[in-house]
A and B are shown apart, each in its own frame.
Chain A
Amino acid sequence: MSTFIARRLLLLPFVAVGVTLLIFSLTQLLTPAMRASLYITDPKQLNALPDIIRKYHLDQPVYVQYWEWLRQVLHGDLGWSETAREPVAIAIAGYFPATFELALYSFACILTLGIWLGTLSAVRKDQLVDHISRFTSISGASLPTFVWGLLLLMIFYGHFGWFPPGRLGLQADLFVRSSRFHPYTGLMTVDTLLNGQWWLFWDALRHLVLPVATLTYFLTAVLVRITRSSMLETLRADYVRTAEAKGLNQSVVIDKHARRNALIPVITLAGLLFVGLLSGVVITETVFNWPGIGRWGVAASQQLDIPAVTGFALAFAGMLVLGNLCADVLYAVVDPRIRLK
C-alpha cells in the first residue's frame, strides 16, 4: 500500500509541471501586454507595462518566459485581479473557504444519498423503491440547476422563510465582523463552533441548506445510476451468489461482499464530482448569492481578467491533481488487486 502511494506521489511533480506547461502555453496566445498583466501585483504597476515586458523577458524565447512565470507562481505571485481589486492569490484564498464549505457539505450529502439510493435500487430492482429512486434522481438531473435553485428559494425562503440566501443573516454577519469573533478556518460552520456560538452555527447552517440541497439533488442522480448499475453487476457475480448460497445474512452479503467491489467506479466519479464542486458551482453560487470562487471566476473570465483566470485555472488544476490522487489512494483501500498490481 505504501509503495503504491509513494509511486503516486512521485508522479505528482511531473503532473504538476505538465499542468503548468499547459496553462502557460495557453497564455502564449495572448499579446505581450496582456501577458505582462500576469506580473502585476499592485495597481501602481499598471502604467509600467513596457518595463514589465522587459523585466520579465516577455520578448524573449518561450522557455525563458516559462521559467520567469513559474518562478513568480512558486513565490505565490499570481498577478493582480482587476475584478477582485486585489492580488489573485489573496482573492483565491478569500473566496475559496466559502466554496470549500459548500462543496464539503454537498459532497457528503451526494455521496451518502447516492450510494444509499443506488444500492437500494439495485437490491430492489424493478420494485417500487427502485422506481421512486430512479424517478427522483432523473428528475433532479433533468432540469437546470438554476431552475431547481430558484424553485427551492421560492418555496423554502420566499414562502416559508426558513432558509435564506447568502452566507449569513444580518445579525450573524455583524457579529462575525466584530472583534468578538475569531475566524480560524474561514468555514463558517466550523468557526462558529470553535467560537462557541451556537446561534451563529445554526444561522450558517440555515444558509447552507438550500444551496446544498440544490447541488445534492442535481448531482446525486449520476451517482445513483452508477452505483445502481455497478451493484447490479456485482450482485450477479459468482462470489456473491456463493456467499448467498452459504446462507450469509443478506445485509452482510450486500455490505461486505457486493458494495465494496461496486464502489470502484463510484470512487472515480466521486473524486471528479468533488473537484468539480471545489472549482466553484457558479450557478448555485449566483442564485444563492454565495460569495464563492466560482462566481468570481466567471466574472473574471467575462471581464477578460487574465491573471485571475490563469490563477483560477492553476488552482483548479491543482485541486484536480490532488482529487485524483485521493481517488487513486481510495481505490487501493477498497480494492486490494490495485495495491498488488
Chain B
Amino acid sequence: MLAGVVVLVVAVLMFGTGARGAAGPIQNPDSLILLTYGDPESLDPAYAYDTTSDGIFWPGIYETLITYDGSVLSRYVPRLATEVPSVANGLISKDGLTYTFPIRQGVHFHDGTVMTPADVQYSMLRFMLQDRDGGPSWLLLTPLLGTDSTRDSKGAVVVKYADAAKAVTVEGQNVVFHLKRPSAAFLSILAAWSFVLPQKWAAAHGGWDGGAATWAKYNNPKLQDRYEFDHTNGTGPFSLQTWDRQTKELILVRNEHYWRAPAPLARVVIRTVTEFAARRLQLQRGDADVISVDRPDQSQVTGMADVAIQDGLPTLVVQVMHFNQKIDASGNPDVGSGKLDGNGIPPDFFSDVHVRRAFSYAFDYGTFIRDGFRGKALQPNGPIIQGLLGYDPTLPKFTFDKQKATAEFKEAWGGKLWDTGFHFTETYNTGNAARQIGAQIIKDSVESLNPKFKIDVRNIQWSTFLQATVQHKGTLYALGWAADYPDPDDFAQPFLATNGDYPKRNGFSDPRADQMVRQGAETADPAKRTQIYRDLTKLAYEDVPGIFEAQPTQFVVMRSWVRGWYYNAILPPLANVGFDFYTMSKQ
C-alpha cells in the first residue's frame, strides 16, 4: 500500500494534476465533439421531452417555423416560415385567434424530398395526436384544442381528428393555426415546438399516414414503437448519421443541401461519457470541444489552459425532488414491502400532505445550494421561478427545520408513521452530481429524525430513469424542469395541472390549480396574470407537489477554439447549456 502511495505521489508531483492542455493546432477542425453523461430517450420530435433528446435534434436536425433571434427570447426570426406573424403584418388576426405562416419554398428534407405546407400540417397534427404519456403534445393541444390531453383520466381518447384538422389548415402556401382562445405565448411555443418532418417518409416506415381513420392507433405509443425513435428526416443543417446505443455515440453530419448556406462544421459527435475524469482529460487534450461539468466539479476545469468557461448564465431551470403520490408498486423494489410496516411504503405514501411537508422541512436547502451548485443558485418558492412573470420572492417557502419536520412526521398517516417507520429507495439520474448530493442530503436528514426511517439512494441511466418515472415507478426522485418557452404557463401547467407532465407521473391533482392554470394561460393582461401566478405559488406551498430545491445559474465549458456559440436559455441543455451547432465552428 505504502509503495503504491509513494508511486502515486511521485507521479502526481512529476506531472501535476494534468492541467497542461494540448497547445498547438486545432484537433479535428471540422468536427465538434461534445461529451455528456445523459443519453437520449428518443429522437422522435413528437415523443422526446427531455433536454438531452431535444438538444440533439433541435435546432440541428429538425427545424421550427420560426425561432428565437439568437439569445433574445422576445424576438423571433423566420425559419421554415418566411415571415414572423404579427398583427402589424396581418398574419395574426385582430382577435388573436388566427396565425398564418407563409411556408418557405425550396426546402428539402434530408432524404431529398421537398417540404410542403401539407408536411407542416401533418407534423403539427402528429405532434398533437401522438400525445404519449409524459410527452410534449400539451404544448400545442392547449392553445389549439383547449385541452392538454387527447385522453381522459381513464385513458379513453376524447379528442376528435376533425377538431385537430380544423385547428391547423393549409391555405395555398400558407399554414394557418386556429386557436381555441387567445394565447400570449403561442409564438414562443411555436418558436421551439413546431418541428417538421415529411408525411410520406413517416407513413412509408409504418408511421401515421395522416388519415382520420388511423390516428387513434398511433396515440400514446410506447418508446421504440416508432421508426422515428432512432431515425430522423428533418430539414436542418445536420442529419443523423449514426446512433450507436452500445458505444453511446451519435454522429450528425452536415447537410450539404441545406436551404441556407451549409454549416461550417462537417460533423457533430455527441458521446456519453459518464466518468467525469475521462471527460475532463479529453477536453484538456483537445479531443473533446465541449463537456458536461456539474457545479461541484467546476474547480477541476477552472484555469485549464486553452479552455474557456462562461459562467453566471441565468437559467429558466428548476431542480425539484418529486413526490409520487400514486406509485406503481408492481415489480417495483423501490417501495420495499409495499406496506406501511417499517419495511416499505404503500403506493400512496406521499398522498399524505404531512409526509410531503415533513420531507420539505427536512431538506437542507442551504447545504444543497452550497455543495450542489457552489452557492450559485437560489431557493425558489414554487414552480414560478425568477425571471418569469408572477415570480415574487416575498411569498412563503419551506426552510430547513428539523423540529417542524418531526412535528409533520408525527402527524402523518394518522399519527402511525412515526411508530411504524418506513423504508424506500429514492432515485436520480446517473452522473448528475448535484442531484446525488440532494438525494444524500434528504436521506441523511430524514434518517437522523427517527431510526425507523430508512431511505436508500439509487442512480439510474437517464433514459431509463425517465421511462421509470413516466411509468409511475418513481417514489421520491430528483428531476428538474427546463423551460419549453419563456412563460410562467410552462411551469404552472407541468407542475400543477392534473394533466401536466409531473402531476401525471406523480398522481397529483387539485381542481383549484387546474382552474387557475387555465385562467393564467388564457389571460392576456400582465397584471392579472401576475396575480394568478402568485396565487399558484401560494397553492404550491399548500399542496407541496415536490421540494423546489434550487434555481441554479449555469456555465459552459469548451475549448477556446470553439467559435459561434451563443447562449439561449430555451435551447435544451445538452452539456450544461443548449447549442445551435449551425453557428458554431473551430478556429
Contact = CB atoms under 8 A, between A and B. Distances in A.
Interface stretch (A163-171, A251-259, A272-280): A163-171
Contact of B4 (A83, A142, A157, A170): A142
Interface string A144-157: 00010011011101
A139 B3 CA distance: 5
A172 B459 CA distance: 33
A166 B274 CA distance: 12
A142 B20 CA distance: 28
Contacts of A153: 277-278, 281
B113 interface: no
B281 A165 contact: yes
Nearest to B241: A177
Chain A CB within 10 Å — which of B1, B20, B245, B246 has the most? Answer: B246
B15 A286 contact: no
A142 B285 contact: no
A82 B467 contact: yes
B269 A170 contact: yes
Given A94-B246, A143-B4, A287-B277, A302 B18 contact: no
A151 B7 CA distance: 10
Contact of B22 (A37, A161, A166, A304): A161
Contact of A159 (B18, B225, B241, B287): B18
A151 B249 CA distance: 25
Nearest to A32: B331
A155 B7 CA distance: 12
A287 B331 contact: no
Nearest to A33: B331
Interface string A259-286: 0000000000000000000000000001
A300 to B, nearest CB: 9
Contact of A44 (B16, B22, B28, B222): B222
| Residue in A30, A84, A151 whose Cβ sees the most chain B Cβ within 10 Å | A151
A304 B332 CA distance: 9
A195 interface: no
A135 interface: yes
A126 B464 CA distance: 56
Residue with the greatest number of chain B CB neighbours at <10 A, chosen from A82, A171, A305? A82
A263 B54 CA distance: 58
B200 interface: no
Contacts of A94: 246
Contacts of A91: 246
A151 B8 contact: yes
B222 A47 contact: yes
A84 B246 contact: yes
Nearest to B246: A94
B576 interface: no
Given A46-B222, A138-B3, A289-B278, A143 B247 contact: no
Contacts of A289: 271, 273, 275, 278
B240 interface: no
Nearest to B287: A164
Given A153-B278, A154-B281, A287-B278, A167 B28 contact: no
B458 interface: yes
A158 B464 contact: no
A242 interface: no
Instruction: Tell which of B281, B330, B458, B467 has the most Cβ of chain A within 10 Å.
Output: B281
Contacts of B249: 173
Contacts of B430: 299, 302
A301 to B, nearest CB: 11
Contacts of B461: 83, 299, 302-303
A86 interface: yes
B460 A164 contact: no
Interface string B260-292: 000000010101011101100110110100000
B214 interface: no
* Listed residue (B8, B15, B274, B464) with the most chain A CB atoms within 10 angstroms of its CB: B464
B331 A34 contact: yes
Contacts of A139: 3-4, 6-7
A203 B12 CA distance: 27
A161 B8 contact: no
B333 interface: yes
Contact of B224 (A85, A167, A286): A85
Contacts of A37: 331
B407 interface: no
B225 A43 contact: yes
A4 to B, nearest CB: 40
Interface string A38-68: 0000011011000000000000000000000
Contacts of B22: 161
Contacts of A161: 22, 285
A155 B11 contact: yes
Given A43-B225, A170-B269, A95 B246 contact: yes
A85 B222 contact: no
B248 interface: yes
Nearest to B28: A170
Given A135-B3, A143-B5, A286-B275, A43 B458 contact: no
B499 interface: no
A127 interface: no
Name, among B4, B6, B273, B274, the residue most crowded by chain A CB atoms within 10 Å (CB to CB): B4
Among B17, B22, B225, B277, residue most surrounded by chain A Cβ atoms (within 10 Å): B277
Interface in A1-38: 30-31, 33-34, 37
Interface in A288-314: 288-289, 291, 296, 299, 302-305
Nearest to A147: B8
Contact of A287 (B20, B242, B275, B287): B275
B377 interface: no
Contact of B460 (A135, A166, A303): A303
25 contacts: A34-B331, A140-B4, A142-B1, A142-B4, A143-B4, A150-B277, A154-B11, A154-B12, A154-B18, A155-B18, A159-B15, A159-B16, A159-B18, A165-B278, A165-B282, A170-B269, A171-B28, A287-B275, A291-B248, A299-B461, A302-B430, A302-B459, A302-B460, A303-B460, A304-B333
Given A34-B331, A44-B225, A164-B282, 12 more contacts: A46-B222, A85-B463, A138-B3, A139-B7, A155-B11, A157-B285, A161-B22, A169-B287, A174-B251, A286-B275, A289-B278, A299-B461
Interface of B: 1-8, 11-12, 15-18, 20, 22, 28, 31, 33, 222-225, 241-242, 244-249, 251, 267, 269, 271, 273-275, 277-278, 281-282, 284-285, 287, 330-331, 333, 430, 458-461, 463-464, 467
> Which 6 residue pairs are nearest across A and B when measured between Cβ atoms?
A158-B18, A139-B3, A143-B4, A33-B331, A142-B4, A34-B331
